[in-house]
Structure 1
Amino acid sequence: MTPLTSPLHERHVAAGAKLADFGGWSMPIEYAGGGVLAEHAAVRTGVGLFDVSHLGTVTVRGVGAAAFVDACLTNDLARIGPGQAQYTMCCLPDGDPRAGGVVDDLLVYLHGPDDVLLVPNAANADDVVARLTDAAPSGVTVVDRHTEIAVLAVQGPKSAQVLSFLGLPGELPYMSFVTGTGGGSAEVTVCRTGYTGEHGYEVLVEAAPAAELWDVLVDVGSDEGLRLCGLGARDTLRTEMGYPLHGHELSHDITPNQARAGWAVGWDKPAFWGREALLAERERGPDRLLWGLRATGRGIPRPGMAVLDGEGHRVGTVTSGTFSPSLRTGIALALLDAVAGAVEGAELAVDVRGRPQTVEVVRPPFVPSHVR
Structure 2
Amino acid sequence: MGDIQHGPLEDRHRELGATFAEFGGWLMPVSYAGTVAEHTATRTTVGLFDVSHLGKALVRGPGAAEFVNSAFTNDLRRIGPGKAQYTLCCKEVGGVAGVIDDLIAYYVSDDEIFLVPNAANTAAVVAALQERAPAGLTITDEHRSYAVLAVQGPKSAEVLGGLGLPTEMDYMGFADATFDGVPVRVCRTGYTGEHGYELLPPWDRATVVFDALVDAVGSAGGELAGLGARDTLRTEMGYPLHGHELSLEISPLQARCGWAIGWKKHAFWGREALLAEKQAGPRRLLRGLRAVGRGVLRPGLAVLDGDKPVGVTTSGTFSPTLKVGIALALIDAAANIDDGQRVTVDVRGRAVECEVVKPPFVEPKTR
TM-score by length of 2: 0.98
Gaps of 5+ in 2: none
Cα distance, 1:98 vs structure 2:
4.9
- Among 314, 326, 346, which residue is 1:351 paired with? 346
- Among 198, 206, 214, which residue is 1:218 paired with? 214
Cα distance, 1:97 vs structure 2:
2.1
State the match for 1:266 in structure 2: 262
Whether 2:16 is the aligned partner of 1:10: answer: no
Whether 2:178 is the aligned partner of 1:178: answer: no
- Among 287, 290, 301, which residue is 1:291 paired with? 287
Cα deviations by residue, 1:239-295 (Å, 9 ceiling, x for unpaired)? 000000000000000001100000000000000000000001001100000000000
Q: Give percent identity, aligned residues only.
A: 60
CA RMSD for the aligned pairs?
A: 1.0
* 1:66-81 alignment runs, 5 A limit: 66-81=65-80
Whether 2:17 is the aligned partner of 1:20: answer: no
4+ aligned runs moved over 6 Å, structure 1 = none
Gaps of 5+ in 1: none
Cα distance, 1:220 vs structure 2:
2.1
- Among 321, 330, 338, which residue is 1:335 paired with? 330
Supply the distance in 1 between the matched residues of 2:236 and 2:67 (Cα, whole angstroms): 35
Amino acid at match of 2:73: T
Cα deviations by residue, 1:74-133 (Å, 9 ceiling, x for unpaired)? 00000001000000000014xx42541111000000011100000000010010011001
Cα distance, 1:218 vs structure 2:
1.2
- Among 114, 117, 121, which residue is 1:120 paired with? 117
State the match for 1:279 in structure 2: 275
State the match for 1:43 in structure 2: 42
Supply the distance in 2 between the matched residues of 1:165 and 1:329 (Cα, whole angstroms): 36
Supply the distance in 2 between the matched residues of 1:124 and 1:66 (Cα, whole angstroms): 21
Cα distance, 1:15 vs structure 2:
0.9
Supply the distance in 2 between the matched residues of 1:338 and 1:222 (Cα, whole angstroms): 47
Cα distance, 1:225 vs structure 2:
1.2
Native 8 Å contact 1:72 1:273 kept in 2: yes
* 1:127-276 alignment runs, 5 A limit: 127-169=124-166, 171-182=168-179, 184-276=180-272
Cα deviations by residue, 1:305-352 (Å, 9 ceiling, x for unpaired)? 000002x11000000000000011100000000011111100000001
Supply the distance in 1 between the matched residues of 2:230 and 2:39 (Cα, whole angstroms): 8
Supply the distance in 1 between the matched residues of 2:185 and 2:58 (Cα, whole angstroms): 14
Whether 2:325 is the aligned partner of 1:326: answer: no
Cα distance, 1:2 vs structure 2:
2.9
Cα distance, 1:221 vs structure 2:
2.3
Cα deviations by residue, 1:27-46 (Å, 9 ceiling, x for unpaired)? 10111xx2100000000000
Number of positions where the alignment pairs a residue of Structure 1 with one of Structure 2: 366
State the match for 2:87 in structure 1: 88
Supply the distance in 2 between the matched residues of 1:169 and 1:98 (Cα, whole angstroms): 45
Native 8 Å contact 2:344 2:351 kept in 1: yes
State the match for 1:109 in structure 2: 106
Cα distance, 1:226 vs structure 2:
2.4
TM-score by length of 1: 0.97
Supply the distance in 2 between the matched residues of 1:118 and 1:43 (Cα, whole angstroms): 25
Q: Cα gap change, 1:83/1:10 in structure 2, threshold over 3 Å: closer, same or farther?
A: same
Native 8 Å contact 2:96 2:277 kept in 1: no
Native 8 Å contact 2:149 2:199 kept in 1: yes
SS of match in other structure, 2:151: strand
Bigger CA drift: 328-337 or 160-169?
A: 160-169
Whether 2:52 is the aligned partner of 1:53: answer: yes
